[in-house]
């Protein structure tokens, strides 16, 4: 079949994105809604779910939110069943929920290390495991894992996060390997340094970290959440049906660049 721009459309597809009340997950959800997908998201509390629904309404999007702890397998299985009954079985899953703890490795408690691994790696496993059976039955589906440049690089104070994201990269490849035969594509998006409210203090002109990032990025700027929209729609759509087990780094070229010569 010849390619058409309709291959990027997601009309009627049920899209579940974890933890997408704001930030990267919210931007990805908005972009998929623009392409026609029906948006479903989760968060830990009713307060956060209500905030998310309000944020989507302000963006002109009707979204359905659920309370769910993505590290709890029983809650996740119940969530997926509830979505199937109330909206439809999940066609596209984006594992967006994540945490980071910036602590030097020798000062980090094992319980904190395990928490990061649980949220950033074990939860995507649990989520994927929950949606895969229906995807197999329907003859296809899309799973997108939000990875990180830390799946390729190390940096001070992020040992748990880097370990989790490195594991998530390999989980992505393994899901593709194991379930590609069912027309299921599992890929990752690896954001670079993105402008968010959390990074605002670091982006002040003259801040050493801001200068460091600009000097390491060929694009000479921080990324915007909107930079992730196109890659997300591509990986969620029919246009990427022969792309599997790939991590698409949206980083302005950092991973290709050694940095400015002194």
Report, as residue numbers or ranges, the catalytic residues: 161
Cα 16 from Cα 94, distance rounded (Å): 6
Q: Are 20 and 26 in contact (CB under 8 A)?
A: yes
E-strand stretches of the chain:
14-18, 38-43, 63-67, 92-95, 141-146, 184-191, 247-250
Phi, psi of 40 (to 5 degrees): -130, 135
Residues 119-148: b if buried by 16+ CB within 10 A, e if exposed: bbbbbbbbbbebbbebbeeeeebbbbbbbb
Enter the tokens of residue 130: 């929950």
State in Å, rounded, how far the first CA of the chain is from the last one.
52
Cα 126 from Cα 143, distance rounded (Å): 12
Of 214, 185, 184, nearest to 199 (Cα)? 214
| SS3 at position 2 | coil
């Amino acid at each position: 079949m010849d390619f058409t721009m309709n291959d990027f459309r997601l009309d009627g597809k049920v899209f579940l994105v974890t933890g997408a009340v704001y930030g990267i997950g919210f931007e990805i959800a908005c972009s998929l809604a623009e392409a026609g997908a029906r948006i479903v998201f989760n968060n830990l509390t009713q307060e956060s779910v209500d905030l998310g629904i309000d944020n989507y309404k302000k963006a002109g999007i009707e979204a359905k939110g659920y309370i769910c702890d993505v590290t709890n397998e029983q809650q996740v299985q119940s969530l997926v069943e509830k979505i199937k009954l109330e909206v439809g079985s999940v066609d596209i899953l984006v594992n967006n929920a994540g945490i980071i703890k910036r602590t030097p490795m020798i000062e980090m408690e094992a319980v904190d290390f395990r928490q990061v691994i649980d949220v950033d790696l074990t939860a995507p496993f649990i989520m994927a495991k929950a949606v895969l059976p229906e995807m197999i039955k329907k003859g296809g589906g899309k799973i997108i894992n939000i990875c990180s440049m830390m799946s390729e690089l190390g940096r001070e104070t992020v040992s748990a996060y880097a370990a989790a994201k490195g594991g998530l990269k390999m989980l992505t490849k393994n899901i593709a390997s194991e379930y590609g035969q069912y027309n299921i594509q599992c890929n990752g998006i690896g954001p670079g340094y993105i402008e968010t409210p959390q990074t605002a203090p670091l982006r002040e002109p003259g801040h050493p970290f801001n200068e460091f990032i600009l000097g390491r990025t060929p694009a000479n700027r921080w990324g915007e959440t909107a930079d992730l929209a196109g890659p997300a729609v591509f990986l969620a759509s029919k246009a990427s049906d022969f792309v599997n087990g790939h991590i698409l780094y949206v980083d302005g070229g950092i991973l290709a660049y050694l940095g400015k010569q002194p």
